[in-house]
Structure 1
C-alpha cells in the first residue's frame, strides 16, 4: 500500500526552501577567492510547510471526500516545539537528490488540536524536471519527495474524523507520504522569496513496500509538443480501480499554475501491445481499451491524483499489455503521449543516497516490478560511473528474490583527497535490468533517468586523529570552510573560522555536533562532515573549559541550547499569517491543487 491506496488525503499550499547557495560551486572550495553567492547565499537550510490544508482525498475506492467532510480544510503543519527541518544536498558535486531531514508532519483541527503526527523519514527528491518546456526557468523546476511517516501518533480529536480512524486501522505504525514541489521564487526582495508551491498526499503503507517511491506501473517521459515534455508518472491497480499520480507529470501553460492547454484532457488506456511506442498515432478503431479520462483544465484533481473505475476487460488486458496516456491528434486519431516501461519491467533503488566513511559499507535495496507486481529472478546489472577510478567495490549484478528485491552492498575505499577543499568523492552507481551487446547498460524504455536515477554515495576521506599539539590547527582547517560557504552562522551566531569566537559557544556546539544526523538540530546542517572529523571537533570542544574565556562579539553565547529562529522562517510564517497563503498567493488559480 502507498499514498495511492485508500483511504487517502490530499493537501496543498506553499513551502519554504531557505537553502544556502554559497556552497553550490565546487570550484570555490580550496580557492582564496570568496564563493559566488548565487541566489540565496545567507540561506540556513530551513524547510517548512506554509498554509497547507487538506484539499481532497478518497475514503474508499471511488468515494471522494464530499463537501463538508470533516477532513477538508484541516491544517498540515510542521512541529511547533522543535527546530525547523532542513533541506540538504549530498555534496556540491551532487545537487540533484536534495533531502529533507528532521521533519515532523502534523495534522491539526480547526482549534489547533492535534489529530495526527509523524516523523518524516529522510528522503531525497526524484524525477526533477522543467515543467515549462524549452523556455522554462528556475520556477518551472519540479520534483517529488516520497517517504513514510514513522512514529505515527493520533490525538483524541482524531476520532471525529472517520477517515483518520480508517488510516489508523489499516496502517497503524507508518503512513506513506508524497510532496510535489515547484514554482520556487528566487527573486530577492519579494514577499514570496525562497518559497514555492506544494501539493501532497498521505495514505497507508504496508511492510515490504519501498520507503522512497511507489512500486507501481511506471509511465515514462513523453512529448506533449515539439517544445514541451510530459513527465513521468506512476499508477497502481487496486481491485476494480486504477489510481494514477499525474501530480509531477503535466507541464504548465506558462508560469507555474494551470496545465498546458494541450494536456487539458488525457485518455488513460491499454495499448494493443509492446510494439506501440510513445509518439505513435493510433487510428480510430485501433485495438485500444479505454479506462477513463484525466481532465486537467480548468483545474486538475487535488494533488493531480486520478482515481478511475477499471473495467474487467481493461484489468485483464493490463496483465500483459502496457498502460498508456493518449491525447487527441489533429488527424482524428490519438497520439501516445506516455506509456508504461518496456515489457512492464520497472527497477528502482530505495534509499539511494548514502554518506559512507572510508573502509565502511552501505547497502541499497533494489525493487523490481513487472506490470506492477513483484518480479522474482530479475538480473539487475550495475555499473560504476567512475569505472576503474572508483573507490567503491560493487557487484556486477544482483538477482531479485521471491519478493522482487535484491540487496547491493557498497564497499568504500579511501579516496585520498582528490578534490581540493572538499572531502572525499561523490560516486555514482548506475543500474538497469538490461544490458547492451557491448556490455553497457540499456536504459531505453526503462523509466530510468540516467543523469539522476543512480545510487549516489559521498565517500569520505580517511582522517587520522591529530596529535594533541596539532588538534587546534586541525579543527581550524575543518571549520574554516563552513565560515566561508555557510555565512549565515557568522551573520547571526558565530564566525566558525575564528576559534576564539567559537569557544564561548562550546555548549551549543557540543549539543549540535552530538545530535543524530536525523535530528533537526544536527550540525553541520549540510551533513557533509565525516565521523572522524566530527570526533576531532568534539574532542577539542570537550577539552575546553566549561565557562566562556572570551567574547569575540557583542551577542552573548546561548545558555539553554536553543538557537534563535531562522529569519526567513519567521518572515515566511508571517506571510501566511497575513493571509498570503495557498489560495490568495497563487494568483487566484487552482493550479497547485
Structure 2
C-alpha cells in the first residue's frame, strides 16, 4: 500500500492514424503526470494472501506542457498482471528490484484542452468518440534502497491511445503469445506478449514492452540474440516477417517496445491469408521462444479482481478468440484454483503458519460452464455468501477462480508447462457478515480499530486507534474519510479492506452521539480478536523455504516472496 505517482514521464514519440510515427509532433516532449489538485492515487493489495494483483485507485492522468493541459481523465482502477520475477538478469537483481509487470486500463471521461496545433492530438481525439483513452504501461527497476534519492521510484514506459466501448478495458483483443513456464514464470528469456494483425494497414503491431529481459533493474535491454516475428505453418515451420529492432539505441524508451511488421512494406496477400489460420510466433536464434496457443485459442476476463460483500453479486465479462477473432460457441470451464494465491507467511519468522485460503467453497457460487455468443463474449455471475471467518483474525476469505476453454484445459492437463497464463484467473475477496446489536458502540468496534492501530503505528501521533477518547476527538474527520467513495484517493482505510457491514457500523457509531454528544462508549469487555485454531495453508512451510532458498526472501521484496510461494495449477478431474 502506498502512493502511486507519475514523475518525470514525457512523450517520446507519436504514431498517426496512417501508421507513420513522428518525434517532431508538438505533443512530443509534453509531460504525462498525475493530479495537481488532489492527492496521489493509491496502490493497494487485494489481501495479505493475494499481493500479486495490486490495484491503482483514484489516479488522475494528465497531458500538459506545464502551461496548458491538453487532456485529463480518471484512471479506471486496475491491477497489474504478467509479473515477471527476474526480468533483470545480472547479479544483484534479485527480489522486487529485478521484477517487471504491466498495467492496462482506460482514462476518462476525457476533458480535452486545445488540440489544434498537434496532428496527433487531433487524430487521437477524433478516434475516441466515446470519451475514453486506453493506457498501458510497463514497470520495472523498482528502487528498494532507502539511502537512494530515488527510493520507491522505478521506470515506467507505456502508450496511450483511443478506446471504444466495444473493446475490453484491461487487455487487447489480438494474438496472445505464450512462453513455456516453470513455477508460474517464463522458463526462457521472454515473457507473455500481445500482437495485433491490422487488416486496414496490413501490418502486425507487436508489443514487446514487458516481454524482453534487461541487464540491470530499469536498465537497457539484454542482448539475447536475433529475434524474428512471424508465423508457424501447419507443419510448425516458422516463416519470418521481420526482425525485432530491440538492440537499436533507445528503442525501448522511445517505442515502449511496440514495433510494426514488416517495417518497410505491407503484408502480402499470402501472408495475410496465412495469419488468419496460423499461429503468430517469435523465434530467438531460429528457435521458437513464444507462440500462440494451440489452434490460436485465447480466453480472458476483462476485470479480474473483485471485492464482494455477503449476498452481493457481480458479473465477470469474458472474451474468447481464435487467431485474434471472436470465437463463437466456445465452452469456458470455470473452477476453483488457488494456485495463484500465496500463503503469506514465512515458516522461520516466528509468526506461525498462515491460515488456509479458498475455503469454504460454499461462500462463492458460479456456473461451472459458460458458453460464448456470436461475438465471442460470455458473462459469468459470482454470488457471494458469508464465509464465516475461516481465517480468524483476517476478515473474510480470498479465492482464486481459473477459467480455460475446455479444449485448452485438456491440453494443459497433458502439458502444464504451456497453454495458459498463470496471471489469468479471478481473485475474489469475500467479506464476513458483521451485524452488531443496535445501538453500535465503541465496545463493538474495538477489535476493528485495534487491528488498524497495530498495522499503522505511525498514525499514533495523529490518532490512537486503540483509544476511545482519541478516536472520538477525531470523529468528524473519520466520518468524512470513511464516508468517501471507495474510488476516492482519500478514502479510509486506504487498504480498501473494510467490508460494507463494518463501514456502515463505524459510520453509524461516529454519527450517532449519545446524551453527552459523543459516540456511545458501550459497556463490558469487547469481543476478542480471533485466534487459533484455524486450518493451516497447505504446504506453506515448504513453499516459504523454497522461496528463501532461491533468494526470494521477504526482505528482497514482498512480491517476489509471494510469487515463489504459489503452488502449481490445480485442474479439476472432469474437464467437460
Q: TM-score, normalised by structure 1?
A: 0.77
What is aligned with 1:267?
228
Match of 1:384 among 327, 330, 336: 336
Deviation at 1:378, TM superposition (A): 0.4
Q: Does the CA-based 8 Å contact 2:89-2:215 persist in structure 1?
A: no
Match of 1:251 among 213, 220, 230: 213
CA distance in 1: counterparts of 2:291 and 2:411, whole angstroms: 26
**Superimposed CA distance per residue, residues 394-425 of structure 1 (whole angstroms, 9 cap, x where no aligned partner):** 11110001111111111112110011211000
**Superimposed CA distance per residue, residues 326-347 of structure 1 (whole angstroms, 9 cap, x where no aligned partner):** 122xxxxx11121112211110
CA distance in 2: counterparts of 1:340 and 1:445, whole angstroms: 14
What is aligned with 2:523?
none
CA distance in 2: counterparts of 1:425 and 1:414, whole angstroms: 9
Deviation at 1:447, TM superposition (A): 5.2
Alignment of 1:196-275 (within 5 A): 196-222=154-180, 228-238=188-198, 239=200, 240-263=202-225, 265-273=226-234
Q: Secondary structure at the match of 1:522?
A: coil
Deviation at 1:388, TM superposition (A): 7.8
Q: Does the CA-based 8 Å contact 1:289-1:314 persist in structure 2?
A: no
Q: Secondary structure at the match of 1:160?
A: coil
Deviation at 1:442, TM superposition (A): 7.1
Q: Secondary structure at the match of 1:262?
A: coil
Alignment of 1:24-39 (within 5 A): none
**Superimposed CA distance per residue, residues 157-177 of structure 1 (whole angstroms, 9 cap, x where no aligned partner):** x22222111111111311111
What is aligned with 2:494?
525
Match of 1:403 among 375, 393, 411: 375
Pair 1:123-2:78 in alignment:
yes
Pair 1:539-2:539 in alignment:
no
Q: 1:253 to 1:155 in 2, by over 3 A?
A: same
Match of 2:244 among 290, 294, 298: 294
CA distance in 2: counterparts of 1:162 and 1:61, whole angstroms: 12
Gaps of 5+ in 1: 1-18, 20-44, 277-286, 329-333, 551-593
CA distance in 2: counterparts of 1:421 and 1:115, whole angstroms: 48
CA distance in 2: counterparts of 1:190 and 1:432, whole angstroms: 44
What is aligned with 1:305?
258
Pair 1:371-2:333 in alignment:
no
Q: 1:446 to 1:223 in 2, by over 3 A?
A: closer
Q: 1:522 to 1:447 in 2, by over 3 A?
A: farther
Q: 1:258 to 1:440 in 2, by over 3 A?
A: closer
Q: Secondary structure at the match of 1:457?
A: strand
**Superimposed CA distance per residue, residues 226-274 of structure 1 (whole angstroms, 9 cap, x where no aligned partner):** 97531010001112121111100001123431112115x411111123x
Deviation at 1:547, TM superposition (A): 11
- RMSD (CA atoms): 2.6
Q: Does the CA-based 8 Å contact 1:218-1:447 persist in structure 2?
A: no
Pair 1:314-2:283 in alignment:
no
Q: Does the CA-based 8 Å contact 2:44-2:54 persist in structure 1?
A: yes
Q: 1:442 to 1:381 in 2, by over 3 A?
A: farther
What is aligned with 1:166?
123
Q: 1:251 to 1:546 in 2, by over 3 A?
A: farther
Pair 1:466-2:417 in alignment:
no
Pair 1:489-2:441 in alignment:
no
Deviation at 1:59, TM superposition (A): 1.1
Deviation at 1:435, TM superposition (A): 5.2
More strand per residue: 1
Q: Does the CA-based 8 Å contact 1:91-1:528 persist in structure 2?
A: yes
Match of 1:360 among 312, 319, 341: 312
Alignment of 1:4-153 (within 5 A): 19=1, 45-66=2-23, 68-109=24-65, 111-130=66-85, 131-133=87-89, 136-137=93-94, 138-153=96-111
